[in-house]
């Protein structure tokens, strides 16, 4: 080993979902929205003055922050934006989880949490979900250095009722609490109103899922003005110009088109609810997802086998080779046509167990 390697900060990195290069596939592995962004997004990009590209963007992202504040009936000082919710969450870890005490999050959850904690040398404890893959609220009543969890949870899709979220926040008012609501628009009730009552609470959301803009990388946090100011102080000490001109212009239009946002999320919800009984009839079971995906396991066919069979059929889903969930697949809700193709293939494949074994 070279001497300089002794001082390298080593971590096991987050592994993102596969982004296949080939065409004509059904991509149901990274929870992207199957529908295009709001029409105004394209119009904003087409009409964008490219002379802006030679200038630095507004470091405060004021126009986007203002649009979000207006949409959620907040003050601008209560909104923080970043390059996707991953950027926002990383800033939260860096800013608030510095007590030396262990932060708490579920054992089955967004797998970036332990990556950030390891990278920043933040001690942490994973608290087990119950046998139904639900958060056990009583487990979070203990000394800690902060609490974070997604709601609905990922990759399970299970939703923690708002009353239970508030109970966890109420019992942890001496630390910063973060509710990661990447999937809240697909059937949950946001914890945002609680931020007026609990000044230690941050609610994080994203444009990647319900607003069909994963490729633009826009995320945001909402909470008490003091929390947001602390986040901005760290941001400006790290990278002042995080949001580029195109993302700012597109994001504003995506927020403004409330009708399109509701139409799109409702289409995904209807498809999800239609597919649930079809999968149950085929022998699948899963938590009652309130996200834009289903987390499924089959009564007799191993998940890894199904994952590989689907991939050969050019249907890509997500498989996690991890304890407790290595016999589950996470399936993003696509269009009705895509989901019909998925269900039809599964019906044919599962109907011929002897041929599967020979294959």
Across the chain, which distance is largest between two alpha carbons, in Å? Answer: 64
Which element (helix H / strand E) includes 335?
none
Complete DSSP assignment for 174-204: TS-EEEE-TTGGGT---SGGGGGT-TTEEEE
Residue 156 sits in the same domain as residue 125: yes
pTM: 0.95
Distance between CA atoms of 16 and 35, rounded to whole angstroms?
Answer: 21
Distance between CA atoms of 105 and 128, rounded to whole angstroms?
Answer: 9
Distance between CA atoms of 115 and 107, rounded to whole angstroms?
Answer: 13
Q: Which two tokens stand for residue 217?
A: 């990388």
Half-sphere exposure of 46 (CA within 13 A, CB side): 5
Looking at residue 1, what is its pLDDT? 64
Residue 170 sits in the same domain as residue 294: no
185 domain residue, yes or no: yes
- Please give the backbone phi and psi of residue 93, each rounded to the nearest 5 degrees, phi first: -55, -45
Q: How many Å separate Cα 85 from the centre of its chain? A: 8
205 domain residue, yes or no: yes
CATH at 234: 3.40.640.10
Domain extent at residue 186: 39-256
CATH at 334: 3.90.1150.10
Cβ-based burial of 129 (10 A; exposed 0-12, middle 13-18, buried ≥19): buried
Distance between CA atoms of 98 and 122, rounded to whole angstroms?
Answer: 7
Note whether 207 and 68 are within 8 A (CB).
no
Angle at 85 between CA 120 and CA 226, to 5 degrees: 75
What size, in residues, is the chain? 359
Residue 72 sits in the same domain as residue 101: yes
Domain boundary among 230, 256, 282: 256
CB-based contacts of 174, cutoff 8 Å, min separation 6: 200
Residue 345 sits in the same domain as residue 306: yes
- Please give the backbone phi and psi of residue 178, each rounded to the nearest 5 degrees, phi first: -125, 125
For 312, other C-beta atoms within 10 Å of its C-beta total: 8
SS3 assignment, position 224:
coil
Residue 216 sits in the same domain as residue 201: yes
Residue in the structure block whose two tokens are 């054992």: 107
Q: What is the 3-state secondary structure (H, E, C) of 109-158?
A: CCCHHHHHHHHCCCCEEEECCCCCCCCCHHHHCCCCCCEEEECCCCCCCC
Residue 63 sits in the same domain as residue 180: yes
Q: Mark the ranges of the chain whose per-residue pLDDT is less than 70.
A: 1, 354-359
Residue 278 sits in the same domain as residue 325: yes
13 domain residue, yes or no: no
């Amino acid at each position: 080993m070279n001497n300089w390697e002794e001082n390298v900060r080593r971590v096991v990195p987050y592994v993102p979902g596969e982004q296949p290069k080939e065409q004509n596939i059904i991509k149901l592995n990274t929870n992207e929205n199957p529908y295009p962004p709001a029409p105004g997004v394209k119009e904003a990009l087409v009409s964008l003055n490219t002379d802006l590209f030679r200038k630095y963007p507004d470091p405060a992202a004021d126009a986007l922050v203002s649009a979000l504040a207006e949409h959620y009936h907040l003050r601008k000082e209560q909104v923080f934006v970043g390059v996707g919710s991953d950027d926002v969450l990383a800033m939260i870890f860096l800013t608030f989880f510095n007590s030396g005490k262990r932060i708490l999050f579920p054992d089955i959850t967004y797998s970036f949490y332990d990556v950030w904690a390891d990278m920043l040398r933040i001690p942490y404890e994973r608290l087990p979900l119950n046998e139904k893959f639900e958060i056990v609220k009583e487990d979070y009543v203990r000394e800690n250095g902060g609490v974070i969890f997604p709601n609905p949870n990922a990759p399970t899709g299970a939703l923690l009722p708002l009353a239970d979220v508030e109970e966890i926040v109420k019992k942890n008012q001496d630390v910063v609490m973060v509710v990661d609501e990447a999937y809240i628009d697909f059937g949950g009730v946001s914890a945002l109103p609680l931020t007026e009552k609990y000044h230690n609470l941050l609610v994080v959301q994203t444009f990647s899922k319900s607003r069909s803009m994963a490729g633009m990388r826009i995320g945001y946090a909402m909470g008490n003005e003091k929390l947001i100011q602390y986040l901005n102080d760290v941001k400006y000490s790290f990278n002042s110009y995080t949001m580029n001109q195109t993302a700012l212009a597109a994001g504003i239009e995506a927020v403004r088109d409330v009708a399109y946002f509701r139409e799109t999320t409702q289409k995904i919800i209807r498809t999800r609810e239609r597919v649930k009984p079809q999968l149950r009839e085929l022998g699948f079971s899963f938590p009652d997802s309130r996200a834009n995906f289903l987390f499924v396991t089959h009564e007799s066919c191993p998940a890894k086998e199904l994952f590989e069979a689907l991939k050969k059929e050019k249907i890509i889903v997500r498989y996690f080779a991890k304890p407790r969930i290595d016999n589950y697949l996470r399936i993003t809700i696509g269009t009705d046509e895509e989901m019909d193709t998925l269900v039809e293939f599964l019906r044919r494949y599962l109907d011929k167990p002897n041929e599967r074994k020979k294959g």
